[in-house]
Each structure stands twice: as C-alpha cells, then as structure tokens.
Structure 1
Amino acid sequence: MTVMMSLASRLRASRLYLCTDARERQGDLADFLGAAFAGGVDVVQIRQKNMAPEAELAALEVARSVAGARGIVCVNDSPRVAKAFAADMLHLGQTDGSARRARRSLHEWALIGRSTHTPDQADEALADPDVNYFAVGPVHATPTKPDYVPVGLDLVRHAARTAPVADPASKPWFAIGGLDAGNLDQVIEAGARRVVVVRAITQAPDPEAAARVLKDRLRQAWADDPELAAYGLRSAALDT
C-alpha cells in the first residue's frame, strides 16, 4: 500500500495513465516502467488477459517497486488479485460487477475506476459513491478493445460537461482509446485533460521520450485552461 500524499489527491493530480501488458515477450518490464515513469506517467495498469494470478501478482510487484512514490499501480478487473496485492487502485469494466462489492476486497483508502462507453454509463459512474474515477471511450478503434465500437469525441464532450475538470468536487475522468501524440489535441479540444494510452508508449522506440511528449502537452493544456486557472489549479498542474 502506498503511503504518502493521499491517493485521492494523487489521482486528481494525475494526467497520464498507461496500460501495458507484463512485457513477457520483451522481458524488460522493470526497465520499460522505469522509462515510462521518468517520462511523466502518473498511473500504470498491468492489463494482460488470461494471465495466471501468480504471474500477474509478480508483474504488479515489479511495477510497485519501480513506481515508488512516482506513480500509482492499478489492478485490472480482478478484486481477488487486488486483495492479494493490497492494491491502491482497481479498474473495473462494465461486466466486472459492482464497485461496492469490489471495495470489500480493498484497503480503506483504495481507489476504484470504471470504464464507460455511453453517456448513461458515464453518468452512473459519476453518481456511484464507490467509483473514484472513470474512463470514457474508446475514442478511436484500438486492438486492445477489438469488440468495442469507437465512440468518437461526443462522449468526451459529455464527460467534460457533466464532470468539469476544473471543479474540485467533480470526479476525475480519462479519455481512452487509440490516443497518441498525433490525435491528443483532438481530445484536449473536446475537454479532456487526462488520458489513458497504450501503444503510444508501449510501442515507442523510446518510451521515456514518448511519455514526455504526451505529458508536456497535457501539462500545457492545464496551464492554458482559463477555468483551471480560475480555480487556482494552474500552478499545481505545472508542477506535476
């Protein structure tokens, strides 16, 4: 369990969220994550379907060791694995059961996220007291979610209206789905200030540099946002 600045505060300060497999083919999980965190990644989720629980726990321990105080490590889908890992964060899909039930497996400060693909699902996540953040997408087609139809930018705009990033009382949310340096400005213009990426970093020849490009653009979006400045969040954004 991570003990320092509150997990909720660290999540709110997060901008760049990375999903990656355990890098079994490359055999470089620790080095890869070290580069990603050095480049500015705030949250890492290990997501590899059909992975044996023992192997998943081992990968998560590597991630936690590398992350240290630099980032939050998230478990994908499984409250059982999250409990064994004493996870600080668990992310649930739409078919992974209730957040309230999952919370029984977590420590009292742990955070829960929810994937959303429609405005109604986003509204439900926003209203659920056991959900701490939500993701909206996939904005674009992505091989990591081949069965999901891209939702485009309308869902991002909906989240921006219903959960204003500048409102400290609103839940954090992340745009997700085929995002990279080439289309990041599109989701920023639609209102996103936090994103989840996969291939933009996992397939980059230099993961640290790729992460830094994304993080710098997100940092600039926060600095340029007059509503965030009005809430006194501009300097905090520049420091993260």
Structure 2
Amino acid sequence: MTDCQLYLISPLDVSGDFPQRLERAIEAGPGLVTAFQFRVKGLDQHEAARLAAPLQAICAAHDVAFIVNDDVALAKRLGADGVHLGQGDGEPRDAREELGREAQIGVTCHASKHFAMEAGEAGADYVAFGAFFDSTTKASEHRPELEILEWWSNLFEIPCVAIGGITPANCQPLVEAGADFLAVSGAIWNGDEVAAVKAFAEQIAAA
C-alpha cells in the first residue's frame, strides 16, 4: 500500500511567509500532498477569508483539496473544496446540504469505530482517527490502536486519515495498517517543510 498521501494541516498562524512555505511543501512531493486543511482559531470570518485567499489559490493551482476546519459557513463563503467536522461541529448531512454534492466532508472519529460507522452512514467522504502519537498541535486523550486502521480499510471504501503527532520516523506502521492519508502539521511546519515532505515520501514509499 504505497498510495498513502499527505494531508497538510495549517499552523494556527498562516500570515507572513506561510503561503510560500505551503507552496514549497506541496511542490516538494509531487502527487503526495493532496489535501490542505485551513485551521485557524478565533478570527472573524472576514480576516479568515483574507488569510485563506492566497492559500486557496496555491491549492487550486496544484490540484490540492482546500478543506476548512470546523466552520461550514466559512467553507461556504470561500467556496472551499470541503469541511472537516469535529464531533461537536454538526452533522455531515447538514454540511452536505450547505456545501453541495461535490464537497469533501471529513469527520473526526477519535478512537471510535462507532463514530466512524455513523459518519460513513451520514455521508462523510473520509473519517479521521487519532491521535496516534503525542501531538504538540492539539491535545487529545484519544489513543486508537493501529488495528482500527486495518479494520476500517478492510471493511469500508471510504478513505481513512491518521492524525496526531505523526512524523517521518513513526509513520510507516500507519501506512502499513491501511491509512489512506497521514494528516500532518507540526512535523512539516516546525522545521524545513521541503525536507520534511521528502522524508515522508521516502518512508511512505518504503512501507
């Protein structure tokens, strides 16, 4: 299974030179980075939209899905490719009605098979399990076993995303267990994004 891809999650600060960093990261692994999640907190919609615009343009130019975290209204305003919902962020069905048939809707399922099956039945386009490792990006008390990725990928067609503290050094077992996407943030943005993407590419290819 070497068709695992990278799903980049933005740092909370996407100002300054971040658009250039995003473009470098996408270009460092042609075909490897296929989705980007815009995850900012505590900004009004106008400011969020202003920051999103250059990032959305970069994603569009490279055929990378632009996904908005948690905020269906912002996703609709931006004409984003989709939205990622936490367990408290509303129902996939409602998001689908707001955003249309083509929207990519993902749901955080933590370590729960039940949440994942519910999300699939409600029309989610992907489910996310995690955190698999300690993450500096987001605290999580949920620690799924690798087995949940194997279980999901053997039974369901809907892609699954592994999230939480994933680095090039620890990602191989997740790929081998059947993760379709690795959602990564700190491992990319806390250092040299080009070197990080290339390191992920090597490890995924070797898995």
Tell me which interval the TM-score lies in, with the shorter structure as reference length: 0.7 to 0.9
Cα pair distance change 1:215/1:54, threshold 3 Å:
farther
Cα distance in 2 between the residues matched to 1:154 and 1:96: 26
More strand by share: 2
Q: 2:121 maps to which residue? A: 127
Q: 1:16 maps to which residue? A: 6
Q: 2:53 maps to which residue? A: 61
- RMSD over equivalenced CA pairs, Å: 2.0
- How many residues align? The count is 200
Residue 76, structure 1, aligned to residue 72, structure 2: no
5+ residue gaps, structure 2, are: none
Counterpart mapping for 1:111-150 below 5 A: 111-117=104-110, 118-128=112-122, 130-150=123-143
Which of the residues 85, 88, 95 maps onto 2:88? 95
1:208 offset after TM fit, Å?
A: 1.5
Question: More displaced, 180-189 or 209-218?
Answer: 209-218
Residue 199, structure 1, aligned to residue 199, structure 2: no
Deviations 1:130-171 (A, max 9, x none): 2111111111121333143322423223323323xxxxxx11
1:76 offset after TM fit, Å?
A: 0.6
Cα pair distance change 1:112/1:14, threshold 3 Å:
farther
5+ residue gaps, structure 1, are: 1-12, 164-169, 222-240
Q: 1:186 maps to which residue? A: 173
Cα pair distance change 1:116/1:151, threshold 3 Å:
same
SS in structure 2 opposite 1:146? Answer: coil
Cα pair distance change 1:193/1:111, threshold 3 Å:
closer
Cα pair distance change 1:34/1:22, threshold 3 Å:
farther
SS in structure 1 opposite 2:143? Answer: coil
Give the partner amino acid of 1:217: Q
Q: Which structure would you say has the larger RCO, counting Cα contacts within 8 Å and 6 or more residues apart? A: 2
| TM-score normalised to structure 1 length | 0.76
4+ runs of 1 displaced by more than 6 Å? none
Cα distance in 1 between the residues matched to 2:19 and 2:125: 28
Q: Percent identity?
A: 29
